[in-house]
């Protein structure tokens, strides 16, 4: 059974902390989470990725997409507050 990506835990903890829109926009995953994602991408490109790693990579890509959407919404909120 695949383990949740480190990024998922980081994002869950971040969201649970009730961040402000400014904090959401500034959020970045840890270096460790980023390194893991690049490792998975390299394994995928090399054709050596396992099924569990592929699942982890797909989850990481989805999390990245969701955070982009959340950040876009936070930026929209900040722009509305500024007007």
Q: How many CA atoms within 13 Å lie on the side-chain side of 29?
A: 23
pLDDT averaged over consecutive 10-residue blocks of the chain (83 residues)?
78 96 96 95 98 94 96 98 93
Nearest to 77 by CA among 28, 29, 13, 25: 25
What pTM does this model have? 0.85
């Amino acid at each position: 059974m695949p383990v949740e990506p480190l990024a998922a835990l980081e994002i869950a903890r971040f969201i649970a902390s009730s961040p402000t829109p400014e904090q959401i926009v500034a959020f970045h995953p840890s270096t460790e989470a980023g390194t893991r994602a690049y490792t998975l991408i390299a394994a995928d490109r090399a054709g050596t990725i396992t099924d569990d790693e592929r699942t982890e990579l797909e989850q990481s890509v989805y999390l990245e997409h969701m955070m982009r959407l959340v950040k876009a919404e936070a930026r929209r909120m900040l722009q509305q507050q500024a007007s």
